[in-house]
Amino acid sequence: QVQFAESGGGLVQAGGSLRLSCAASGLTFRDYAISWFRQVPGKEREGISCSSASDSSTYYADSVKDRFTISRDNARSTVYLQMNSLKPEDTAVYYCAANLMRRSCASAQSTGVIIRHEYDYWGQGTRVTVSS
């Protein structure tokens, strides 16, 4: 049984930092591109960052570029999201998931969109609240 578990969320002031973790089990983690998504009530779940399985390439949505950094530890089957210079608009529930169709983030890099329906094995998410 595949499971993803996100952790590390919390309440932080604007300008602060948080590091999210996503621990996976039940799959060969190194074979999958892994992405972080976030969702606020009433809005679609938005893909914000991707880590490729096939190479070391990554992708960031414009909304988080230069502030967030994705990394992965295949030995620990864990992907991280370091979030710096947090803004109130970063407030959301954050999820990670595995891409079942692609091993790389090349599609997101070329189109600027992480396609949600390519992903599965969603965890429960971790809530991030940024106060102004």
* pLDDT tens for each residue of 9-54: 999 999 999 999 999 999 999 999 999 999 999 999 999 999 999 7
Q: What is the CA radius of gyration of the chain?
A: 14
Q: How confident is the model at residue 111 (pLDDT cuts 50, 70, 90)?
A: very high
* Structure tokens belonging to residue 114: 């992480």
Contacts of 81 (CB under 8 A, 6+ apart): 19, 20, 22, 36, 49, 68, 69, 70, 94, 96
Q: How confident is the model at residue 127 (pLDDT cuts 50, 70, 90)?
A: very high
Contacts of 57 (CB under 8 A, 6+ apart): 104, 105, 106, 109
3-state helix/strand/coil string of 66-121: CCEEEEEEHHHCEEEEEECCCCHHHCEEEEEEEECCCCCCHHHHHHCCCCHHHEEC
75 residue type, one letter: A
Mean pLDDT of the chain: 96
